Every structure is written in structure tokens, then in C-alpha cells.
């Protein structure tokens, strides 16, 4: 594996402030039990981004390293996020740990919220603001930001999921980490499977691939909320905006999205994702949620069983976290 590709990524990202939050590198492990079930000489691996080592962990920590690094470099003192999501929960923890005030705008009645999520925000010192439904969030958020700025606060509104060009840098850096893992393990991945929703994970991976020149692998985003063509455009638009910020070229044809494992949409488990969660628990002792990583795992298993990748393939699952679905 050409380690120069990882060096190129790290050099390009050097000017962007980064707040070290995660344990790096995240572990890479071969899933020998799953590999045996996939048959032939297929080898399945997992990048344990559920073990990013801060707050609740998961892929959002990679994004927050750059988002918080950028915010602190601009002397932001207040963060506003929307929704009771894995991103907003981790953003609350990261912001509060670094001296920022946190405001969360949530749809629905307070009493109807998941108790674990509600108590988590309280424990992190975040102030929650409840509105009737999702359609009311933008106006309430605008009003809140206006009030906070009127009080002299330097406010940063974080994009849902951390999926803006700065947040995308986290998964460009993750691609450098994957290259370095391949060098240490003397393995070359043919396919990478991951859940794609708010888009920054996939946008970062395809940009990391473009920067590094490591084009031999196929990066497959497994849709968890939108039809394939809608999600493909969402990822391509974000990757294009990030490429423009970095001053690099980007070919949108690199964005591959598969929606065959979407089921009934977000945030609803599918029969395939639930089966994948059960299989990985028994074969690997690996805890997946059925909404994100479970659907990506279902795709990896489905591709193997239908012969959609070679019998000698090395395939990587990115475990993006999800806390076993406990906060949904």
C-alpha cells in the first residue's frame, strides 16, 4: 500500500485547526467468525469507529474534531445544534468539555423524548428548547440565535450530523488512517461499506481516496434515509463544496450509493439489518445498531451471498457507532 497517499492527505489538512478528541488510530480487526460464514477466501474486516474514545463515540467524533477546532479558533462561545441525535449528543459533550454553552432545539414534547437522551443532555449541561415538530425547528433556531447574539454571544450553528465542508475533513483524515492500517496489516481492501445519511462520512472517504490516489477500492455508501439518487446527489454536493474549499478536483462519479437495504427508511430497522445485528453479535461479539451500521453490515453480507464481490475479496465495514440503538 502506498503510504505516500496518507502523507498527502495529512499535508493537505494541516492548515485546518483540529481539536484532539478521539483515541487514534481506531482499531482495525479482522472478523474471522463472519469471514468463515461468508465462504471461499473472503476476508471481512471492521474499522471500529464506535471506539473513537470520547463521550458516546462513533463517527461524529471525527467530524467534531475539526468542527470544534474551527469554532475555538474563531473564539466561538456558544453552540446551537438541532435534534436529539448522535451528533447533537456528542457535540454537547465536546462543547461543554471545552467551555462552550450548548443549546439544542428538539422537535416534540419534552416528556415524549427518549429518557436516556433527555437525561444525557441535562448531564452535559445543554439547554434544550422544544418545538412542536421538525418543521418548527428552523424558525425557533433562528430566533434563538438572534437572542443569543443580542446578548453578545459568539454563536456557531452546527449543521445536522456535522455534515458541512469542515466536518467532512474528519473522514478525509479517516481515509489516511485506513491506508496506514492496510500497510500495517499487509492487506488491500477491495470494497468499503458504510452507512450514509447526513453525507459527510461518505464525502470524506471519496475525497480521501481522490487525494491519495488509492483508487483500487470501491467505496459503497449504504443509504439509511434517502433513495439512492437523492443520497448520491447529497454526497456529491458536499464533496464538491469541500473539494472547492481545499482547492482540489473531484469526480462525482466516485460516489456510489446502494439503497436496497434501506427498508422502510429512517429511523426504522429492517429485517436484513436486524439479522445482521444478530449475526455480528454471535459471530464477533460486535454490537451494532440496526439503523446505521446494521444496514451497512447487511449490505456486506448480502453482497457476499449474492456474489457481488469476488470470492477472494478483502472487504471493510466501517462501524460508525450508534450505541446499540439505545438513544432512539
User: CATH number of the domain that 14 lies in?
Assistant: 3.40.50.1100
Cβ count within 10 A of residue 305: 11
Number of domains in the chain: 2
193 touches 300 (CB < 8 A): yes
User: Does some domain include residue 68?
Assistant: no
Banded model confidence at residue 127, pLDDT cuts 50, 70, 90? very high
pLDDT(314) > 80: yes
> For the segment 15-49, what is each residue's pLDDT rounded down to a tens digit?
999 999 998 899 999 999 999 999 889 999 999 99
Cα distance between residue 316 and residue 307, in whole Å: 16
181 touches 189 (CB < 8 A): no
pTM given for the model? 0.96
Which 3 state secondary structure label does DSSP give 86? helix
Same domain? 236 vs 122: no
1 or 13: whose pLDDT is higher?
13
Kindly report the length of the chain. Answer: 328
> For the segment 208-233, what is each residue's pLDDT rounded down to a tens digit?
999 999 988 999 999 999 999 999 99
Cα distance between residue 92 and residue 124, in whole Å: 6
Same domain? 144 vs 14: no
User: Across the chain, how many H-helices and E-strands are there?
Assistant: 11, 10
Domain with 312, as residue range(s), is 4-58+164-325
User: Does some domain include residue 82?
Assistant: yes
- What is the DSSP track for 206-272? HHHHHHHT--SSEEEEEESSS-HHHHHHHHHHHHHHHHHHHT----GGG-EEE-TT-TT-TT---HH
Same domain? 179 vs 35: yes
Same domain? 148 vs 168: no
Which 3 state secondary structure label does DSSP give 28? strand
Q: What is the pLDDT of residue 324?
A: 66
> For the segment 159-201, what is each residue's pLDDT rounded down to a tens digit?
999 999 999 999 999 999 999 999 999 999 999 999 999 999 9
Q: What is the pLDDT of residue 323?
A: 77
**Torsion angle of the four alpha carbons 100, 94, 242, 172, in this order, in degrees rounded to the nearest 10:** 150
From 153, 178, 209, give the residue that closes a domain: 153
Amino acid at each position: 500500500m502506498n503510504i505516500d497517499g496518507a502523507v498527502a492527505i495529512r499535508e493537505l489538512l494541516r492548515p485546518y485547526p483540529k481539536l484532539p478528541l478521539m483515541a487514534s488510530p481506531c482499531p482495525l480487526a479482522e472478523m474471522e467468525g463472519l469471514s468463515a460464514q461468508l465462504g471461499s477466501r473472503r476476508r471481512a474486516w471492521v474499522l471500529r469507529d464506535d471506539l473513537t474514545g470520547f463521550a458516546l463515540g462513533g463517527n461524529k467524533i471525527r467530524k467534531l474534531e475539526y468542527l470544534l477546532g474551527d469554532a475555538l479558533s474563531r473564539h466561538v462561545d456558544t453552540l446551537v445544534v438541532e435534534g436529539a441525535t448522535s451528533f447533537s449528543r456528542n457535540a454537547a459533550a465536546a462543547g461543554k468539555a471545552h467551555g462552550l454553552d450548548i443549546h439544542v432545539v428538539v422537535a416534540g414534547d419534552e416528556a415524549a423524548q427518549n429518557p436516556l437522551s433527555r437525561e444525557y443532555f441535562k448531564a452535559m449541561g445543554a439547554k434544550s428548547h422544544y418545538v412542536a415538530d421538525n418543521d418548527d425547528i428552523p424558525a425557533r433556531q433562528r430566533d434563538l440565535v438572534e437572542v443569543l447574539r443580542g446578548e453578545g454571544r459568539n454563536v456557531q450553528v452546527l449543521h445536522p450530523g456535522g455534515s458541512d465542508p469542515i466536518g467532512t475533513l474528519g473522514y478525509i483524515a479517516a481515509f489516511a488512517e485506513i491506508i496506514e492500517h492496510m500497510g500495517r496489516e499487509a492487506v488491500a481492501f477491495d470494497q468499503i461499506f458504510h452507512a450514509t445519511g447526513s453525507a459527510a462520512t461518505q464525502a470524506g472517504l471519496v475525497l480521501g481516496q481522490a487525494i491519495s490516489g488509492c483508487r483500487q477500492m470501491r467505496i459503497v455508501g449504504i443509504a439509511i434515509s434517502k433513495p439512492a439518487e437523492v443520497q448520491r446527489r447529497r454526497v456529491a454536493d458536499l464533496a464538491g463544496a469541500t473539494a472547492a474549499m481545499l482547492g482540489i478536483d473531484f469526480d462525482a462519479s466516485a460516489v456510489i450509493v446502494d439503497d436496497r437495504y434501506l427498508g422502510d427508511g429512517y429511523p426504522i430497522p429492517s429485517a436484513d439489518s436486524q439479522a445482521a445485528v444478530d449475526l455480528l453479535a454471535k459471530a464477533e461479539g460486535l454490537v451494532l445498531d440496526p439503523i446505521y451500521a446494521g444496514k451497512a453490515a447487511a449490505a456486506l453480507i448480502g453482497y457476499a451471498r449474492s456474489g457481488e464481490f469476488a470470492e477472494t475479496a478483502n472487504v471493510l465495514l466501517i462501524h460508525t457507532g450508534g450505541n446499540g440503538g439505545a438513544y432512539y
